[in-house]
Structure 1
Amino acid sequence: MAHGHKSDEKIVYVGDSRVRTRSAKMAQPDYSAFPGKSEVFIPNFLLKEWMVGVVVLVGILVLVVSDPAPLGYPADPTNTQFIPMPDWYFLFMYQLLKYPYTSDQFVVLGTLVIPAIMFGGLMVAPFLDTGKERRFYKRPIASTLMFLTLVACTYLTVVSWTHYEHEMKDKNLVPEHIKREEELHAGKAESGGGGAKKPAAAAAIVAPDDPGAEIYKKATCVACHGGELKGMPSSGIPALRGVGDKHSKDEILNIIKKGQGNMSPQYDDNIKKGLTDADIDKVAEWLSKQKKE
């Protein structure tokens, strides 16, 4: 090596020719290079994941078997008092669709665009957040979006259920599955615990071959009272079997023309359907024959 500032001094570089420069990248060691600290993905790790999944599914199955599903009354499209409610995991979407900007003219925004953005964001998140940092407080964007989504879903779920409870209280209603269970227990108590009390046999249809019976099938009455005259008692629509014991022909005609209770006048609607006054008269006469004895 040179010493000082003499320009004519010879400079000698010292090196070792035995050290070779690597031209290829080092191969990454596999799991076998870390005994006791790593394992092969298939089948070892995957089998463990499957075992955990089986345990979770068995736990869910035990919960399903231990508590029977709540059952309400059969679906009744004429029951205007019924308040439909989705399962708990859809309550936030149910509440979202109540707001003006996600319903009515903007229903496509609430039912398609917003859910597509939310679930689409989950799908592309692994491709957008490619940083190596895994501590949530050092990933501000991903953590902020996660907390905002969690808070929004929780808030909408709580608000939806609170509104439902207030609506049920204001209308003095009891959920159908609870009401049906109470009726079942009451029936068992009345029958001495031997099962639900059997309802009394309904009266048979009188003169099923009467011309009025055929006209009845074309009238608006059949939409609510049914072709078998059984009505829908759970919705406040009485059966017409035995109606002749309560009303005469003239009274039935008066009900058809003026309505009664929750039933609106049906005369004009029947005329629009093509029935004549003579047809309506025959229907009323036939219904007046419906007696228990």
Structure 2
Amino acid sequence: MQRGKGMKFVGDSRIKATNKMPNVPKDYSEYPGKTEAFWPNFLLKEWMVGAVFLIGYLILTVSEAAPLERQADPTDTTYIPVPDWYFLSMYQLLKYEFASGPWNIVGALIMPGIAMGALMLVPFMDTSKERKPFKRPLPTAFMLLAFAAMFYLTWESVKNHDWEKAAKQGAIVEKVEVEFDTESEGYQIYAGSSCIGCHGNAFEGGLGLTLIDTGLTAAEIEEIAHNGRGDMGPGLWKGTDEDLKVLAEFIEGLKSKE
């Protein structure tokens, strides 16, 4: 019969354990600068750094209001969209000939996929335990290349974007309303022309400017319809001169509600 076979040990909750070890991290003094205890040393540092960044983001959120723009209009093809800053590099990449148009899949999927795949494979290609960047040339080179590409593309996107024009296009403006008779001859001519596609059903504007409170005379409106002005090109009016005269007089009388 083997010693201890068949014996059972019963614990007593009234007796405190004498061999219970305190929750003390292991001694890593044999590996100076190589590693440290996860709890509490490493985790505490992570929490402290995270708290600093979180507080910084909260301060920026409170101090800087969100840049809101006017309500999205799918019919406005002249609006120049721009993504948030962290997507500007991708936005700029899709502007190049080799990554846009028929090659759009290259800029949208293939190139980003290769870049992300390379970054994901770096830990498997470099198994060194060194922490100093110059002793780990492969991951350091990959990270520097990725940072340089993102920095350059972001810079080019910011530099080449027409921010002043975009601000005007996205500006929130007070909606101006006007009373008009939809059965009048002037509105019927307007509704049957190409003008309504740019200036809106209620003359509020869209692709084109608002036609309310223009301050223009009927003669000036006729001249603009023939010769164009600003972004409005010449020769857009396809109707008769008689209809244009009626329409111009109608638009001249469009005044906003007081």
TM-score range, shorter chain: 0.5 to 0.7
Query: Which of 142, 145, 162 does residue 142 from structure 2 map onto?
Result: 145
Gaps of 5+ in 2: 1-22, 30-35
Whole-Å separation in 2 of the counterparts to 1:292 and 1:161: 40
The aligned counterpart of 1:176 is: 167
Query: Which of 237, 242, 246 does residue 209 from structure 2 map onto?
Result: 237
The aligned counterpart of 1:56 is: 53
The aligned counterpart of 1:288 is: 249
Q: Contact 2:189–2:247 at 8 Å: present in 1 too? A: no
* One-letter amino acid of the structure 1 residue matched with residue 204 of structure 2: K
Whole-Å separation in 2 of the counterparts to 1:259 and 1:75: 30
Whole-Å separation in 2 of the counterparts to 1:95 and 1:228: 37
Structure 1 position 105, deviation (Å) = 2.5
The aligned counterpart of 1:34 is: 26
Whole-Å separation in 1 of the counterparts to 2:159 and 2:222: 46
Whole-Å separation in 2 of the counterparts to 1:121 and 1:158: 23
Matched, 1:246 2:217: yes
Query: Which of 105, 109, 127 does residue 112 from structure 1 map onto?
Result: 109
Query: Which of 51, 64, 67 does residue 64 from structure 2 map onto?
Result: 67
Distance of aligned partners of 1:110 and 1:242 in 2 relative to their CA distance in 1, 3 Å threshold: closer
Structure 1 position 119, deviation (Å) = 1.7
Matched, 1:133 2:130: yes
Listed one character per residue, the Cα deviations across residues 224-264 of structure 1 (whole Å, up to 9, x for unaligned) are 111112225xx762415678x7216xx867765x3532244
Whole-Å separation in 2 of the counterparts to 1:253 and 1:227: 20
Whole-Å separation in 2 of the counterparts to 1:282 and 1:131: 81
Matched, 1:99 2:67: no
Structure 1 position 61, deviation (Å) = 1.4
Q: Contact 1:212–1:286 at 8 Å: present in 2 too? A: yes
Q: Contact 1:230–1:239 at 8 Å: present in 2 too? A: yes
Structure 1 position 91, deviation (Å) = 2.7
Gaps of 5+ in 1: 1-30, 185-198, 271-276
Structure 1 position 153, deviation (Å) = 2.2
The aligned counterpart of 1:219 is: 193
Listed one character per residue, the Cα deviations across residues 69-106 of structure 1 (whole Å, up to 9, x for unaligned) are 334555566574x6544333223223322322222232
- Per the normalisation by structure 2, the TM-score is 0.62
Over the residues paired in the alignment, what is the CA RMSD in angstroms? Answer: 4.4
- Per the normalisation by structure 1, the TM-score is 0.56
The aligned counterpart of 1:265 is: 235
Whole-Å separation in 2 of the counterparts to 1:73 and 1:241: 21
Whole-Å separation in 1 of the counterparts to 2:177 and 2:165: 30
Distance of aligned partners of 1:209 and 1:174 in 2 relative to their CA distance in 1, 3 Å threshold: closer
The aligned counterpart of 2:9 is: none
Name the count of aligned residue pairs: 222
Equivalent pairs: percent with the same residue?
34
Give the number of the structure whose alpha-carbon radius of gyration is greater.
1
Whole-Å separation in 2 of the counterparts to 1:40 and 1:147: 29
Whole-Å separation in 2 of the counterparts to 1:160 and 1:253: 40
Structure 1 position 116, deviation (Å) = 0.9
Listed one character per residue, the Cα deviations across residues 7-51 of structure 1 (whole Å, up to 9, x for unaligned) are xxxxxxxxxxxxxxxxxxxxxxxx85725986566x996677456
* One-letter amino acid of the structure 2 residue matched with residue 229 of structure 1: F
Distance of aligned partners of 1:78 and 1:113 in 2 relative to their CA distance in 1, 3 Å threshold: same
Listed one character per residue, the Cα deviations across residues 180-228 of structure 1 (whole Å, up to 9, x for unaligned) are 69xx9xxxxxxxxxxxxxx8x9684332333653564343211111111
